[in-house]
């Protein structure tokens, strides 16, 4: 990966800045407050981050939540995304916590594109009869959505374009970038 101040080059593809680190951090600070306020203080939020992409978003949300917020944190992962969108093929979920009955679950995604991943995860979690399931996503591509499921908390709505950085990858590269970049051309 090569990088100058505005462009990143990975495997022959060029990416340009879409959202700066400052912009992202300011928005996450707002979102953390919004999420915190939507749950009464006595309710514990069971936050479940979807790996790999959401690890940075989860970490920064935790930074900005009030420090006395009652919160549990866990992560889950869909074993593979290959072919999932077009075929609707089901892939096993790894590491999904049991014992969510009557809990307030907050699923945290890096990006919602077709929405099939989050729909599948939500259905699996619903089987445990939680009290509530809400969805927070840093990025949302409304024009790509193929389900009726709507996120409850959205960082940024973006065009249906391919993006990397801040946890999001292209061929496993680019997750370390602090800004979010969009594929040029
Ligand atoms: P969905 O099931 O189509 O909503 O896709 C969700 C997953 O696809 C995300 O968690 C990402 O891992 C991946 N994904 C979707 N769009 C992008 C993108 O623009 N860049 C990188 N990964 C993406």
Question: So where are the chain's domains?
Answer: 2-183
Atom in ligand 1 nearest the alpha carbon of residue 161: 19
Ligand 1 center–CA 42 separation, angstroms: 34
Q: State the pTM of this model.
A: 0.93
pLDDT along the chain (185 residues), means of 10: 83 95 98 97 95 96 96 86 45 84 97 92 95 98 94 97 95 94 91
Any idea which residues carry the catalytic annotation? 113
| pLDDT tens-digit series, residues 26-42 | 999 999 999 999 999 99
Q: What CATH architecture applies to the domain 2-183?
A: 3-Layer(aba) Sandwich (3.40)
| Measured distance CA(180)–CA(166) in Å, rounded | 6
How far is Cα 29 from Cα 40, in angstroms, rounded to an integer?
Answer: 19
Closest Cα to atom 22, ligand 1: which residue? Answer: 168
How far apart CA 108 and CA 117 sit, in angstroms, is 12
Are residues 8 and 157 in contact, defined by beta-carbon separation less than 8 angstroms? no
């Amino acid at each position: 990966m090569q990088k100058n101040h505005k462009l990143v080059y990975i495997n022959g593809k060029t990416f340009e800045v879409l959202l700066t680190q400052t912009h992202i951090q300011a928005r996450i600070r707002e979102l953390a407050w919004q999420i915190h306020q939507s749950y009464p203080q006595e309710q514990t939020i069971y936050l479940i981050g979807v790996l790999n992409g959401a690890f940075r978003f989860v970490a920064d949300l935790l930074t900005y939540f009030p420090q006395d917020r009652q919160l549990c944190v866990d992560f889950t992962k869909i074993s593979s995304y290959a072919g999932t969108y077009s075929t609707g093929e089901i892939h096993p979920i790894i590491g999904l916590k049991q014992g969510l009955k009557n809990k307030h679950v907050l699923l945290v995604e890096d990006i919602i594109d077709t929405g099939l991943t989050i729909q599948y995860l939500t259905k699996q979690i619903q089987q445990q009869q939680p009290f509530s399931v809400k969805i927070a996503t840093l990025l949302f591509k409304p024009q790509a959505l193929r389900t009726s499921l709507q996120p409850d908390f959205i960082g940024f709505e973006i065009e249906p374009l391919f993006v990397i950085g801040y946890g999001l990858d292209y061929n496993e590269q680019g997750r370390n970038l602090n800004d979010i970049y969009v594929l040029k051309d």
